[in-house]
Structure 1
């Protein structure tokens, strides 16, 4: 059984959020499980609190908030360093 890398994109539906979702999906690998979390719903807001998400868009990779999405939008280089596009090797991050 293949272990999947879990990637959560926190979004409020803004244009920058949509760009981030597209970037993550376009650069994810076949063993990446990408989930878009809607911050407009209470479940999404509660999930965001768990990770310390303060602004959107935000990306969590394998339970760790990536420092990727400051004022100028998402940074692909930072996302890749955090594991985006890289399969887990034998379940190891």
Structure 2
């Protein structure tokens, strides 16, 4: 079984909260979810460094196994279908 690291970048907005809930609802036992709140991370700079590493310029954003999901790369809405296509919930 392959593990999937799913990183969700947020700023505590309603859309961000919906995205976190969607990711959590799709996740299976092989998904490890890390939520990065950019508001909190600025005190340590870790969130900002991670966001820069992935090329994130807007939130919410989802990264699966170190790759920014295609919907986030193309500035499209994050959808259930896009997250499944990125490998979330697949064992």
TM-score w.r.t. length of structure 2:
0.85
For residue 49 of structure 2, the aligned residue among 46, 49, 64 is 46
State the alpha-carbon separation in 2 of the partners of residues 19 and 67 from structure 1: 18
What are structure 2's unaligned runs of at least 5 residues?
A: none
State the alpha-carbon separation in 1 of the partners of residues 87 and 5 from structure 2: 10
TM-score w.r.t. length of structure 1:
0.83
CA RMSD of aligned residues (A): 1.5
Q: 1:25 to 1:49 in 2, by over 3 A?
A: same
Report the equivalent of 2:86: 82
Q: Comparing both structures, which one devotes a greater share of its residues to helix? A: 2
Runs of 4+ deviating beyond 6 Å: none
Report the equivalent of 1:6: 5
Measured against aligned partners, the alpha-carbon deviations of 1:40-92 in whole angstroms (never above 9, x if no partner) come to 12211111100001100000001110033546x421111110101012xxxxx
Give the 3-state SS of the residue equivalent to 1:78 in structure 2.
helix
State the alpha-carbon separation in 2 of the partners of residues 8 and 61 from structure 1: 6
State the alpha-carbon separation in 2 of the partners of residues 26 and 19 from structure 1: 10
What are structure 1's unaligned runs of at least 5 residues?
A: 88-93
